[in-house]
Amino acid sequence: MMNILLTGATGYLGSHLAGAFVAAGNRVVVLKRQDSDLSRLIDILSGLTFYNLEQGGVATAFHDERIDIVVHTAACYGRSGESPGEVFAANTAWPLQLLEAAAAAGTPLFINTDTSLDRFLNPYALTKKQFRDWGCYFAGKERIRFVNILLEHFYGPGDTESKFVSQVIRRCLREEPEMQLTAGIQRRDFIFIDDVVAAYLLLVQHALANGPAFQEYGLGSGTDIAIRDLVKMIKSLTGSEISLNFGAMPLRQNEMLESLADTNALRSIGWQPQVPLNDGLAQTIELEKRLMERKKT
């Protein structure tokens, strides 16, 4: 059994990791805000130990607990009008405090959730890359082992509508008349949530005992698809009649036209994705249909 300190546990990825860590017999310590919504964790609350950030959660957790691993998934995407300074505070300054506390406490491993996006695309990507650089610095000083995960676009049932796949699925299921889209020429690597969790579980075991102080892993399916083709696939799988208006919206400034995970490092330690895109979308759509039906009753 390991003591795992987890951030972002109330989010989509974090809640799935919390469930997997508990199921594997680990003790999970969760850093959260006092008013965090715990609904995603309702089935495993008894297996979690909580520390509130407003009450000195970071210092108290490392004082009270022997932490073997920090798994950091919390992030601010800047989608709610946060300023660049606020995004920096959430994605660089605060996790740096967490990293310092972990190193000072002698925690051997810090696993960080980074993004595959270009660092200059937006404040979220830039601040995530800045923290990754701090992790590299700490590892170089041999203060802690730092594993950086370059996470591609993950999806699955029950994710928030701020995520592209979930948004498209729900709009198709709601039978909206039309959807305004870019030309859809961007190519992206989409990975199902179960495959993401499997990679984290493997890295927790592997990186604790192996490898250099700084390690980096691309985490995606290893295959890409044009956004236009993805949206068409979702429309077909849902049986929707929605009108897809490709080209109605411009590409974002500094938009990456292709993002594809290099999964060689993960595959070399025994991981490979198990859920093809078509199957993962079908599973996601089926559960989204059930959730929508429940809301109607």
Interval 93-111: pLDDT, tens: 999 999 999 999 999 999 9
Please give the backbone phi and psi of residue 266, each rounded to the nearest 5 degrees, phi first.
Answer: -65, -40
Residues facing 27 on adjacent strands: 3
With CA atoms as reference, report the closest residue to 54 among 114, 92, 94, 5. 94
> Where residue 253 falls among pLDDT bands split at 50, 70, 90?
confident
pLDDT over threshold 80, residue 67: yes
Instruction: Please report the sign of the dihedral spanned by the C-alpha atoms of residue 127, residue 128, residue 129, residue 135.
Output: positive
Q: What band does 211 get if pLDDT is binned at 50, 70 and 90? A: confident
- Across the chain, what does the average pLDDT equal? 95
Q: What is the pLDDT of residue 297?
A: 67
* CATH class belonging to 3-151: alpha beta
pLDDT single digits (tens) 111-144:
999 999 999 989 999 999 999 999 999 999 988 9
Q: What are phi and psi of 4, to 5 degrees?
A: -110, 120
